[in-house]
Structure 1
Amino acid sequence: MPICQNCGEKWTWTQTIKTIFRLECPYCAKKQYESASSRIRSGMFWLIPFIFLPINAGFEFSVDLSLLIAVLLGFVILGLYPFILKLSNEEEPYW
């Protein structure tokens, strides 16, 4: 789970999901940023549903089933996202 770099409090899964788009600490109300290493990991994590779609085409699954699987994978990834999120006090460049 992410830990605020300002106050040192560990966020719960629910708090992380609620603040996923603004990343403001629920304890000290300071703006937090996703660390560069976390952005790289999460970017690769979000590619899984897009990689899975061509595999589905190879097995000749229907389009509806393929999209359903991609949406379900998206929800699973969103649920696991708080476990890979690392925070920073300032926005870090990718390099």
Structure 2
Amino acid sequence: MMPVCRNCGNEWPWKDTQRLSIRRDRGAVCQFCGEKQFQSRKSMRKVSLFHLLPSLVLPFALVMDVSIVSGLALLFTAEAVFLSAFPWMVELTNQEEPIW
């Protein structure tokens, strides 16, 4: 399920949610109501833990004696899976919360 704006209750489109993964500031403005929304603490923790998986692929591939090219291909595939799954892991809140 895509994230829902806590102010107006509208579901954010995939494209707008994906932009949260590349923004420097943590908030984004809802296109429906114009209010700034932030990732919830729970969502940030879930995303950060899930994002560790792609970074563990390359060392695992090296230990398993997989070629560097195959290891890099696995790394890029894992990162692509993370980026495409990111919007479904996001929960929004009206207030900025610290991650820990």
What's the TM-score bracket when you normalise by the shorter of the two chains? 0.7 to 0.9
CA distance in 2, matches of 1:43, 1:50: 11
Bigger mean CA offset, 22-31 vs 51-60: 22-31
- The answer to whether residue 27 in structure 2 is matched with residue 26 in structure 1 is no
What TM-score, normalized by structure 1, do the two folds share?
Answer: 0.88
Amino acid at match of 1:16: T
Deviations 1:20-79 (A, max 9, x none): 225221211221111000000000010001112221012211212211211111111111
User: In the alignment, what sits opposite 1:5?
Assistant: 6
Q: Please, which runs of 5 or more residues in structure 2 have no aligned partner? A: none
Alignment partner of 2:36: what SS?
coil
CA distance in 2, matches of 1:64, 1:24: 40
Question: 1:14, CA displacement in angstroms?
Answer: 2.8
Amino acid at match of 2:92: L
Give the length in aligned residue pairs.
Answer: 94
Identify the structure with the greater strand proportion. Answer: 2
User: In the alignment, what sits opposite 1:54?
Assistant: 59
RMSD after superposition: 1.5
Q: Please, which runs of 5 or more residues in structure 1 have no aligned partner? A: none
What TM-score, normalized by structure 2, do the two folds share?
Answer: 0.84
User: In the alignment, what sits opposite 1:86?
Assistant: 91
Identity of aligned residues (%): 33
